[in-house]
Amino acid sequence: MSLKDTFLAALVPIFLGFGFVIAKPAMEHFPPFLLMGLRFTFAASILIWWFPIPRGFLKKIFIASLIANTLQYSFTYTGLNMIDASAAVLLVQMEVPFGVVFAYFMLKEKPTIRSLIGISIAFTGVYILTGSPNLDGKFIGAALTVIGSAIWALGQVLVKPLSKEINPLALVAWLALFSGPILITLSAIFDGNTINYFKTASLDSWIIAIYLGFIMQPITYGCFYYVLKNNPLYKVLPIVTMGIPLTGLLAAIFLLGEEPTRQLFIGGAIILLGVVMIVFSNKKN
């Protein structure tokens, strides 16, 4: 990866880790589906006007949006709403091993033996982390977060070919345009009375929603898709995801006042060890 691509990729976990954690208090007023629906609707509302309709790609964009945005954020943020943010930011590191698996089957990017060992180690870390007192009785939340990580990795495999054909910000815009209204509709179906959530939400929650939609989404995924266009998935995912634990844990501790347990740190460290093995085991393309 070039220095420019590495720098842009490094920006992603800074914005994403912080946004991931501060979304948790916002979900006290906005249900997960609704908050994510607002996030994507806000992002689309400022980006969509600058780019032409990507004719010939709309079907592929819709499918990618359904998986990478709608399904993934439904699972991940519903899980986040049920568990501590400090645990969630470690569990989402499973995006890397899942990404290697999907890249092998769908992009023919063959993993090395060390990568396979790293995947096994990462899953061992998940097993240990889920035994932390922080997650006692919260298995469903942890499971949803891990499933969301798998769906995210699958989604990026689908997005990668599109990133080579469409302007990165245009891709962010059109993915968001499809997923935002769907998530708001799902919230209306499952959560009910959407207008009441709007009326009763605190100013802080609106500020968080605005940050997620107008700032974080365009910057993080604009940078991510730009870098993804020029580099193999296995080189991009680690840089993007490995910075999230540091940013996320610091935000969870200092902003939310969470107190991660020693078992959580041990499980998280083992997950990161597995991720590091994956990162440094691939041959250059």
What pLDDT sits at residue 280?
A: 66
Number of domains in the chain: 1
- Phi (first) and psi of residue 84, to 5 degrees: -65, 145
In a domain, 133, yes or no: yes
In a domain, 156, yes or no: yes
Matching residue, tokens 């400090």: 86
pLDDT exceeds 50 at position 39: yes
What's the domain range around 84? 3-279
pLDDT exceeds 70 at position 151: yes
pLDDT exceeds 50 at position 284: no
pLDDT exceeds 80 at position 37: yes
What pLDDT sits at residue 175?
A: 93
Average pLDDT, the chain: 85
Given pLDDT bands bounded at 50, 70 and 90, which one contains residue 105? Answer: confident
Give the three-class secondary structure for 257. coil
Matching residue, tokens 């912080």: 18
- Tokens representing 45 are 């509302």
Residue 240 vs residue 19, higher pLDDT: 19
What pLDDT sits at residue 281?
A: 61
Residue 157 vs residue 147, higher pLDDT: 147
In a domain, 284, yes or no: no
Spatial contact of 226 and 8, defined as CB atoms under 8 Å apart: yes
Matching residue, tokens 């440094």: 280
User: Which H, E and C letters describe 209-254, residue by residue?
Assistant: HHHHHHHHHHHHHHHHHHHHHHCCHHHHHHHHHHHHHHHHHHHHHH
pTM: 0.83
Given pLDDT bands bounded at 50, 70 and 90, which one contains residue 136? Answer: confident
pLDDT exceeds 70 at position 57: yes
Residue 230 vs residue 85, higher pLDDT: 85
Q: What percent of the chain has pLDDT over 70?
A: 95
Model pLDDT for residues 210-223, shown as the tens digit of each residue: 999 998 888 888 88
Indicate the DSSP class of residue 166.
S
Instruction: For residues 274 and 114, give the distance between their C-alpha atoms in angstroms, rounded to a whole number.
Output: 9
In a domain, 76, yes or no: yes
- Best-predicted range by mean pLDDT among 100-104, 108-112, 189-193, 237-241? 189-193
Cβ burial, residue 175 (10 Å; 0-12/13-18/19+): buried
In a domain, 165, yes or no: yes
- Phi (first) and psi of residue 201, to 5 degrees: -65, 140
Indicate the DSSP class of residue 31.
-
In a domain, 285, yes or no: no
Instruction: For residues 282 and 234, give the distance between their C-alpha atoms in angstroms, rounded to a whole number.
Output: 8
pLDDT exceeds 70 at position 203: yes
Mean pLDDT of 57-66: 93
Instruction: For residues 58 and 271, give the distance between their C-alpha atoms in angstroms, rounded to a whole number.
Output: 37
Cβ atoms within 10 A of the Cβ of 236, count? Answer: 24
Q: How far is CA 20 from the centre of its chain?
A: 8
> Among 48-52, 162-166, 173-177, whose mean pLDDT is lowest?
162-166
What pLDDT sits at residue 282?
A: 53
Mean pLDDT of 28-55: 92
Mean pLDDT of 69-83: 92
Given pLDDT bands bounded at 50, 70 and 90, which one contains residue 272? Answer: confident
Spatial contact of 129 and 271, defined as CB atoms under 8 Å apart: yes
In a domain, 15, yes or no: yes
